[in-house]
């Protein structure tokens, strides 16, 4: 069975989410765990959470790896000092374009558990994680979350960047706090199963963090609710705020890069279409993620001659912010973004 998995792991990911689900099941099986699988061809179904067996004895620490800074913060909130946690991506690093170094692969090879997004967010990384061996269980932290399935038009746009397709699902699930509450439950279940001696600690940490997130969600609705209805329009540098818009009552008019991957490049026709849309709506505000290049924004500013000023709003979306930014944690990131939007869109 292990030889079979190793042969399969040598194959390159096709970038399809359903292929990833199959790989997750195989990796879980290699660890003597039987994971459920998603219904073939149905991208609307939530990802399954692998069944995890005990991995450490009392007094030993689980070796846990998280891919992104956002995933890492959530895992840390639940695992705290009971786990040995390695976060591969630092604050400010774009998960779409991140390439692992030798130390990252070493940490992954030594891990008991690796938490990934689950919907192929980490385009340059998941390939490597799947080929380093079969010791670790890959856990999709977005398991159980009802995915935002892209429309046919969105999916066509999303796949226009050659080699960089997430498949039919938007992976930016953390933009809705309710989804991160599901993340917390997933982390609790997996850590408790792998380390039963600390199950009570993980439960207590998860319960406390759930309360924090519930309060965060309520506060976001209050803060964002102050934005006038006619100003609740988002134009972004790439389509990563779909869950946020759906949860908190915004409309996404268009994006500079009409893709859920920041690796895609807009065509001249797409830029022209965006300019026309913004002109027709009299909208002169563009939202940029903090990990993005401002080159495209400068191009857009030069084309929007009808605007007295094209205003750029910087948000932390795909990664946490650096020290001193106020966005060093998931909670801080969401609060900082809400405060920025409320200030800038209420002008």
Q: Under a CB-based contact definition with an 8 Å cutoff, are residues 292 and 241 in contact?
A: no
Task: State mean pLDDT over 241-258.
Answer: 82
Q: How far apart are the first and last CA of the chain?
A: 61
CATH superfamily of 2-216: Nitrogenase molybdenum iron protein domain (3.40.50.1980)
- Equal CATH topology for 2-216 and 227-345: yes
Q: What is the pTM of this model?
A: 0.80
What does the pLDDT look like over 193-207, one tens digit per residue?
Answer: 999 999 999 999 999
Name the helix (H) or strand (E) containing 314: strand 311-315
More confident residue, 132 or 266: 132
CA 163 to chain centroid, in Å, comes to 19
User: Bridge-partner residues for 114, per DSSP?
Assistant: 65, 138
pLDDT at 142: 98
Flag whether pLDDT at 290 surpasses 70: no
Q: Of the ranges 42-46, 69-73, 135-139, 191-195, which one carries the lowest mean pLDDT score?
A: 42-46
Cβ-based neighbours of 180, under 8 Å, separated by 6 or more: 74, 173, 174, 213, 330
Q: Count other Cβ atoms within 10 Å, centred on residue 206.
A: 22
**Cα dihedral 147, 148, 150, 154 sign:** negative
Query: What local confidence, expressed as pLDDT, does residue 87 receive?
Result: 96
The Cα 131–Cα 76 span in angstroms is: 26
User: What is the average per-residue pLDDT within 18-44?
Assistant: 41
Average pLDDT over residues 326-340: 98
Least confident of 9-18, 65-74, 83-92, 208-217: 9-18
Domain ranges of the chain: 2-216, 227-345
Give the pLDDT confidence of 140-196 residue by residue, as tens digits. 999 999 999 986 554 444 444 444 444 689 999 999 999 999 999 999 999 999 999
pLDDT at site 297: 64
Chosen CATH of 227-345 out of 3.40.50.300, 3.40.50.720, 3.40.50.1980, 3.40.1440.10: 3.40.50.1980
Kindly state the tokens that stand for 139.
């856990």
Residue 327: pLDDT above 80?
A: yes
């Amino acid at each position: 069975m292990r030889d079979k998995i190793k042969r399969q792991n040598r194959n390159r990911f096709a970038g399809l989410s359903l292929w990833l689900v199959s790989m997750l099941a195989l990796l879980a099986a290699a660890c003597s765990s039987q994971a459920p699988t998603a219904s073939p061809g149905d991208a609307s179904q939530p990802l399954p959470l692998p069944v995890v067996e005990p991995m450490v004895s009392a007094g030993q620490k689980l070796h846990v790896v998280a891919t992104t800074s956002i995933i890492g913060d959530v895992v840390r909130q639940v695992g705290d000092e009971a786990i040995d946690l390695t976060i591969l991506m630092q604050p400010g690093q774009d998960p779409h374009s991140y390439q692992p170094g030798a130390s990252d692969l070493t940490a992954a090879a030594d891990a008991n558990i690796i938490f990934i997004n689950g919907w192929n967010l980490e385009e340059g990384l998941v390939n490597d994680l799947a080929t380093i061996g079969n010791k670790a269980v890959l856990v999709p932290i977005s398991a159980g979350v009802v995915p935002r399935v892209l429309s046919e038009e969105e999916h066509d746009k999303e796949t226009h960047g050659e080699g960089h397709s997430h498949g039919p699902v938007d992976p930016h699930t953390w933009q809705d706090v309710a989804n991160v509450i599901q993340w917390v439950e997933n982390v609790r279940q997996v850590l408790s199963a792998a380390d039963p001696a600390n199950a009570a600690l993980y439960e207590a940490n998860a319960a406390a963090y759930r309360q924090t997130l519930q309060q965060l969600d309520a506060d976001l609705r209050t803060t964002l609710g102050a934005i006038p209805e006619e100003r609740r329009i988002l134009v972004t540098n790439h389509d990563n705020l779909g869950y946020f818009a759906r949860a908190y009552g915004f409309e996404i008019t268009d994006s500079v890069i009409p893709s859920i991957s920041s690796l895609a490049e807009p065509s001249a026709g797409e830029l022209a279409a965006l300019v026309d849309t913004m002109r027709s709506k009299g909208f002169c505000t563009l939202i940029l993620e903090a990990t993005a290049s401002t080159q495209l924004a400068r191009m857009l500013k030069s084309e929007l001659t009808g605007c007295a000023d094209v205003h750029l709003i910087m948000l932390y979306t795909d990664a946490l912010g650096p020290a001193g930014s106020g966005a060093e944690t998931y909670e801080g990131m969401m609060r900082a973004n809400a405060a920025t939007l409320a200030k800038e869109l209420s002008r």
